[in-house]
Amino acid sequence: MTLGEEGPAIVLVAPQLGENIGTAARAMLNFGLTDLRLVSPRDGWPNSRSVAASAGADIVIDNVRVFETTADAVADLDYVLATTARPRDMVKLVYTPDRAAARLREAFAGGGKAGVLFGPERTGLHNDDVALADAVLTVPLNPAFSSLNLAQAVLLMSYEWHKAADRTEAETLEMREGRLATKEELLMFYAHLERELDAHGFFRTDDKRPGMVRSIRNLFGRASMTEQEVRTFRGIVASLVRTVPKGNGPEEG
């Protein structure tokens, strides 16, 4: 996601501390969200402590909109989620964060606008606020300690929103220079190593040799060696061969 791409509104209902608003704004911008709405912030708005705590998330802070009621804050939205524990006094769909993010994406894909409600730090959302939502978002936490601060909750949901459309590879190998060794280079290294192991008596019995060769190749194969690393290992083998007399190799394991 890049700045300017449409995303869900983050609605903070009666936030108490300016610092929490600022850190929530910072969490939002980490994942490209910029639509921050405040409902009756306790210390008013603007708030200098929010600016300092936002750590440069100016595009979020500068465009904050303030509303008197939660109903006003969500009036232009088509789909709203409320972050809270499971509601006891009303029938509501309850989503985990990843499913909630998928539903938000579906809402936007259909041309609508969506938002997520977060309640006051101490008390959470009032039932009247939850009643305005289409569904509830509940985070499965340690039941013995399930307390999240406001910025943590916003960060978690912002991340799930971003992840739902992110295509970053789950695993990559970063190399400053060079490239991964080709199969041909690896095979030449294996042949070099195995030839010298044969010559120095490492493989004591013919029946065990195939299994030991496979183990050695699997070991180096898991290392994802670069072409430079292959050259280095071939140099190591050549150096050892020059200094170890034949027949004095290690005993078979």
Torsion of CA 151, 156, 161, 163, to 10 degrees: 130
Contacts of 94 (CB under 8 A, 6+ apart): 86, 87, 135, 136, 137, 138
Contacts of 129 (CB under 8 A, 6+ apart): 13, 70, 82, 117, 119
Distances in Å between the Cα of 19 and the Cα atoms of 40, 46, 194 are 15, 12, 64
Q: What is the pLDDT of residue 167?
A: 74
Tokens 């071939």, residue located: 234
Per-residue confidence at 89, pLDDT binned at 50, 70, 90?
A: confident
> Tell me: the pLDDT tens digits for 6-31?
899 999 999 999 999 999 999 999 99
Do the beta carbons of residue 67 and residue 38 sit within 8 Å? yes
Calculate mean pLDDT across residues 93-115.
Answer: 92
% residues pLDDT > 70 (the chain): 91
- pLDDT at residue 249 tops 60: no
Tokens 């499971």, residue located: 86
Tokens 């009666």, residue located: 14
> Tell me: the pLDDT tens digits for 105-129?
999 888 899 999 999 988 889 999 9
Do the beta carbons of residue 83 and residue 125 sit within 8 Å? yes
pTM: 0.72
- pLDDT at residue 180 tops 70: yes
Mean pLDDT (the chain) is 89
CA 41 – CA 20 distance, rounded (Å) = 11
Contacts of 199 (CB under 8 A, 6+ apart): 241, 246
Among the ranges given (2-16, 33-47, 54-68, 93-107), the one the predictor scored with the smallest mean pLDDT: 2-16
Calculate mean pLDDT across residues 139-152.
Answer: 88
Q: What is the pLDDT of residue 245?
A: 60
Contacts of 59 (CB under 8 A, 6+ apart): 3, 29, 34
Tokens 């190998």, residue located: 173
Do the beta carbons of residue 123 and residue 64 sit within 8 Å? no
Burial 91-117 (b: 16+ CB within 10 A, else e): ebeebebeebbbbbbebbeeeebbbbb
